[in-house]
Amino acid sequence: MNRIPLAAVLVALVPLAALAESTEEKLAAKFPGIEAKNIRPAPVEGLWEVVVDGRVVYLSGDGRYLVRGDLTDLATGRSLTEARQADMRLGLLGELDESRMIVFAPKQPTHTITVFTDIDCGYCRRLHREMKAINDHGIKVRYLFYPRTGPGTESWTKAESVWCSANRNDALTRAKAGEEITAKTCKSTPVAEQYELGNKFGVRGTPAIITESGELLPGYVPADQLAKMLESKGS
């Protein structure tokens, strides 16, 4: 699917006329980068919810007004936008094969988190040092690569070398401990795919933790606190 930049879509959406009379299919046909399944009436009457490049925006029924930001239900204090984003995160994660992740799991997991990680990130290393404690709390950790410096950088090369190692878990642990990993290449790595997914999720720093409910926790969370958080939220 060809995707178009968010800014270009938003500019194009503003002059759209007579949206109240349009269907999701007609709107999607005007913008090839948007699928009809990602367009639907918003929880507020008169607004349409449009998913653009992994983000939720809202458009008035006449196509004149565009709203970017959280839509909050003041009766409950709940962000409807974040709830929708959480659903989208879970949907995208559900399309991934766990065999394309590096997984650290206890024998009988009670919770699962998915973590975008950068080998050279200090707080990512700190989180990884607590892996035993995290697993002891019954939490399975599924790592996705997100080298913050981007393609062609040292962190990116380290990620690919870890993936191409015979024992990926061991290589990742050693790399996060600061040990130099022999540069390796292999036929296929998931680094680029996972990096793109992180961008779609709006990851700006690492570690970025996705809970079972789709919530995004930006940054390091100590093992004990993480376990309490997951228990309290039923994630």
Report the alpha-carbon distance of residue 119 to residue 127 in Å, rounded. 11
Average pLDDT across the chain, whole number = 86
Domain ranges in the chain with CATH number 3.40.30.10: 94-233
Whether this prediction's pTM lies above 0.85 is answered by no
Quickly state the pLDDT bin for 38 (edges 50, 70, 90).
confident
Name the CATH superfamily, with its identifier, for domain 94-233.
Glutaredoxin (3.40.30.10)
Structural class in CATH, domain 6-78: alpha beta
Give tens-digit pLDDT for 1-31: 555 566 566 555 555 444 434 456 665 665 5
More confident residue, 10 or 81: 81
> Residue 189 corresponds to which amino acid?
T
Quickly state the pLDDT bin for 182 (edges 50, 70, 90).
confident
Domain ranges in the chain with CATH number 3.10.450: 6-78
Q: What is the DSSP letter of 19?
A: G
Report the alpha-carbon distance of residue 34 to residue 53 in Å, rounded. 8
pLDDT at site 74: 92
Structural contact between residues 138 and 212, judged by C-beta atoms closer than 8 angstroms: no
Pairing of strands 208-210, 111-117: antiparallel
Residue 132 above 90 pLDDT?
yes
**Mean pLDDT for the stretch of residues 92-104:** 95
The string of DSSP letters for 35-88 reads -GGGEEE-SSTTEEEEEETTEEEEEETTS--EEES--EETTTTEEHHHHHHHHH
Give tens-digit pLDDT for 190-223: 999 999 999 989 898 999 999 999 999 999 999 9
